[in-house]
């Protein structure tokens, strides 16, 4: 297994998370090839230099094209704003690089489709940063649904709520630029839609209502001039799944008091599951029937019995963290690059998520149910 050269574009929150994960993956999880941390790119040279020094990259650059064209790099991680993903990914693919891209994959399904087709034509491995899906307890939940432990699924409800945009005086920024796609729907709603597909499979149709709560924001910190907000703050979706059940998803980035409420409830004829990312080392399971005195949810606690938890800690109850999920995601990507199984989610899956988002935008505009391409 040859060493793999890694380049990361972007040094913000997600760039740092990727850097930590790439630095850690080979030392924690089995079957991961040895890595060479070749280069990190950022338009801010100081940020690029600091990241390179902190995480052990051989060099830094302010030109992402320089990174993508470097023959020493085998795989490129893209952690920039959404509007830049297409150009960067296509350049990396054209250079023969494997691509690990943050979510959402692109502002539109049309862009995501071009990226997916290019990657598949080139035969490169792709990964998209829906790292919450790497939680071993979510894998258990999916297995329980597939095994029929919940019986026939009657309903699904998910929400991704955070309050990081709740301050009306927070300045206008790239997340609010409609050229990068929708607002809360694309940014955090993509996680909830990916979760819905992960647990219950394809979505056939969507009905959506989008709301902009804060109508304008300062053009800069402390500025009196304000700029209109043209994307959604809250998205409410009704879903029809191909399996026959229905559900709802809410994305809300002005949810005062919430920090990381990515949560779901699944109700079936034989049982139910409940989960929140705020306590993501716990999965609640209710089994219908039996002694009514014992009715209620049972807490399933993450531990070494839930692969790959044991590679991080041999004792139950000590808990995984956010960056551990990113490390699992990176390890899956690197094993696939080395010829192992492709566990995804890849560009093709991210395209399917984006198709739900695009259908939701049409639905909100035309006030009707919209079929999702399948």
pLDDT above 90 as % of the chain: 97
Q: What is the pLDDT of residues 159-208, one digit of tens each?
A: 999 999 999 999 999 999 999 999 999 999 999 999 999 999 999 999 99
The pair of structure tokens assigned to 74 is: 């085998």
Q: Tell me the domains of the chain and their CATH numbers.
A: 4-131 (3.40.50.720), 133-317+342-366 (3.30.360.10)
The angle subtended at Cα 286 by Cα 282 and Cα 288, nearest 5°, is 170
What pLDDT sits at residue 129?
98
The DSSP symbol for 133 reads: G
The pair of structure tokens assigned to 236 is: 């409410």
Distance CA 217, CA 238 (A): 29
Q: What is the pLDDT of residues 38-61, one digit of tens each?
A: 999 999 999 999 999 999 999 999
Mean pLDDT of 102-115: 98
What pLDDT sits at residue 374?
79
Mean pLDDT of 332-359: 97
The pair of structure tokens assigned to 160 is: 């991704």
Name the β-bridge partners of 268.
153
What pLDDT sits at residue 292?
87
What pLDDT sits at residue 294?
84
What pLDDT sits at residue 341?
96
Distance CA 359, CA 290 (A): 42
What pLDDT sits at residue 3?
94
Model confidence pTM above 0.75: yes
Mean pLDDT of 13-41: 96
Distance CA 49, CA 46 (A): 5
Question: What's the pLDDT band for 368 if we cut at 50, 70, 90?
Answer: very high
**Total Cβ atoms within 10 A of residue 65:** 15
Mean pLDDT of 310-318: 95
Name the β-bridge partners of 75.
6, 98
What pLDDT sits at residue 291?
85
Judged by average pLDDT, the poorest of 14-18, 20-24, 289-293 is: 289-293
The pair of structure tokens assigned to 267 is: 């109700």
Burial code of 39-55, b = ≥16 C-beta within 10 A, e = fewer?
bbbbeeeebbbebbeeb
Q: Which residues 6+ apart lie within 8 Å of 234 measured at CB? A: 184, 210, 211, 213, 250, 251, 252, 253, 254
Mean pLDDT of 247-263: 98
Mean pLDDT of 73-97: 98
What pLDDT sits at residue 212?
98
Q: What is the pLDDT of residues 215-227, one digit of tens each?
A: 999 999 999 999 9
Q: What is the mean pLDDT of the chain?
A: 97
| pLDDT over 80 (residue 66) | yes
What pLDDT sits at residue 144?
98
Q: Interhelix angle for 189-200 vs 136-146, to 10°?
A: 40
The pair of structure tokens assigned to 258 is: 């919430």
248, 238 in Cβ contact below 8 A? yes
| pLDDT over 80 (residue 69) | yes
What pLDDT sits at residue 99?
98
The DSSP symbol for 148 reads: T
Closest CA to 38 of 5, 71, 76, 1: 5
**Total Cβ atoms within 10 A of residue 168:** 14
| pLDDT over 70 (residue 361) | yes
Mean pLDDT of 122-129: 98
Residue 36 burial by CB count (10 A; 0-12/13-18/19+): exposed, middle or buried?
middle
| pLDDT over 90 (residue 311) | yes
| pLDDT over 70 (residue 67) | yes
100, 333 in Cβ contact below 8 A? yes
What pLDDT sits at residue 371?
98
| pLDDT over 80 (residue 1) | no
């Amino acid at each position: 297994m040859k060493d793999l050269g890694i380049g990361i574009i972007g040094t913000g929150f997600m760039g740092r998370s990727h850097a930590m994960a790439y630095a850690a993956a080979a030392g924690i999880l089995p079957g991961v090839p040895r890595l060479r941390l070749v280069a990190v790119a950022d338009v801010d040279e100081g940020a690029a230099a600091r990241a390179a020094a902190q995480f052990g990259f051989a060099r830094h650059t302010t030109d992402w094209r320089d990174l993508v064209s470097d023959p020493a790099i085998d795989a490129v991680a893209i952690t920039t704003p959404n509007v830049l993903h297409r150009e960067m990914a296509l350049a990396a693919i054209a250079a023969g690089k494997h691509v690990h891209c943050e979510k959402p994959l692109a502002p539109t399904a049309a862009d995501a489709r071009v990226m997916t087709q290019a990657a598949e034509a080139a035969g490169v491995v792709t990964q998209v940063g829906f790292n919450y899906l790497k939680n071993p307890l979510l894998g258990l939940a999916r297995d329980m649904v597939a095994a029929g432990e919940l019986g026939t699924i009657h309903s699904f409800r998910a929400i991704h709520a955070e309050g990081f945009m709740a301050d009306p005086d927070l300045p206008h920024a790239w997340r609010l630029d409609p050229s990068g796609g929708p607002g809360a729907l694309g940014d955090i709603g993509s996680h909830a839609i990916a979760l819905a597909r992960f647990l219950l499979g394809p979505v056939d149709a969507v009905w959506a209502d989008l709301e902009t709560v804060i109508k304008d924001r300062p053009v800069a910190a402390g500025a009196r001039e304000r700029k209109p907000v043209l994307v959604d703050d809250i998205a409410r979706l009704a879903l029809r799944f191909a399996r026959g059940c229905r559900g709802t998803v809410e994305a809300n980035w002005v949810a005062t008091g919430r920090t990381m409420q990515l949560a779901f409830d699944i109700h079936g004829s034989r049982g139910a599951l409940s989960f929140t990312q705020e306590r993501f080392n716990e999965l609640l399971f209710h089994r219908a029937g039996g002694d009514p005195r014992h009715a209620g949810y049972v807490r399933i606690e993450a531990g070494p019995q839930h692969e790959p938890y044991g590679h991080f800690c041999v004792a139950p109850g000590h808990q995984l963290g956010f960056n551990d999920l990113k490390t699992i995601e990176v390890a899956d990507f690197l094993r696939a690059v080395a010829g192992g199984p492709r566990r995804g989610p890849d560009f093709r899956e991210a395209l399917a998520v984006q198709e739900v988002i695009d259908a939701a935008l049409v639905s909100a505009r035309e006030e009707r149910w919209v079929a999702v391409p399948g």
